[in-house]
Amino acid sequence: MLESAVRLALRKSIPKEKLIKLEKLQCQIFHTTYNPTKQRTGAKILRKPLIGQTMASYYGPAEFPSVSSIARLWKDDEFEIVNEPEEYRLERIETRKRRGKGAPKKKREAAGNKKK
């Protein structure tokens, strides 16, 4: 508390023009923008390095082959590539359909026949 009171007293004793010159000099030395109105400029955010490249490299290359793309390449060969999670999913859908628990069939009516 006492320190802030002393600083305030010192600021009041120093002429305003000298304080403005001091602030301009500080901005030149520390490579910051002079902002006499103290408005928010977003300079803090703009100084940060861009993270777009980091985010893009986090997920790896987009050209990385998937199981389905490899299976399509080797489809004519004597190899048979099986995507086990996909096979399991299709098997579960088929068993549900046999038990009558599958997804309902889509309507075949035209959209214009709806009553409002």
- The one-digit pLDDT tens for each residue of the chain (116 residues) are 667 777 777 777 888 899 899 999 999 999 888 999 989 988 888 888 888 888 878 887 778 888 778 878 877 767 777 788 999 999 999 999 999 998 888 888 766 666 55
pTM over 0.75: no
| Cβ-count burial 80-89 (b if 16+ within 10 Å, e if not) | eeeeeeeeee
Give the per-residue pLDDT at 37.
92
Q: 48: number of CA atoms within 13 Å, CB side?
A: 6
Cα–Cα–Cα angle for 56, 67, 64, nearest 5°? 25
pLDDT at residue 24, as a whole number: 94
3-class DSSP state for residue 18? helix
Non-local (6+) Cβ contacts of 70 within 8 A are 81
Q: Hey, what amino acid is at 12?
A: K
Residue 88: per-residue pLDDT = 96
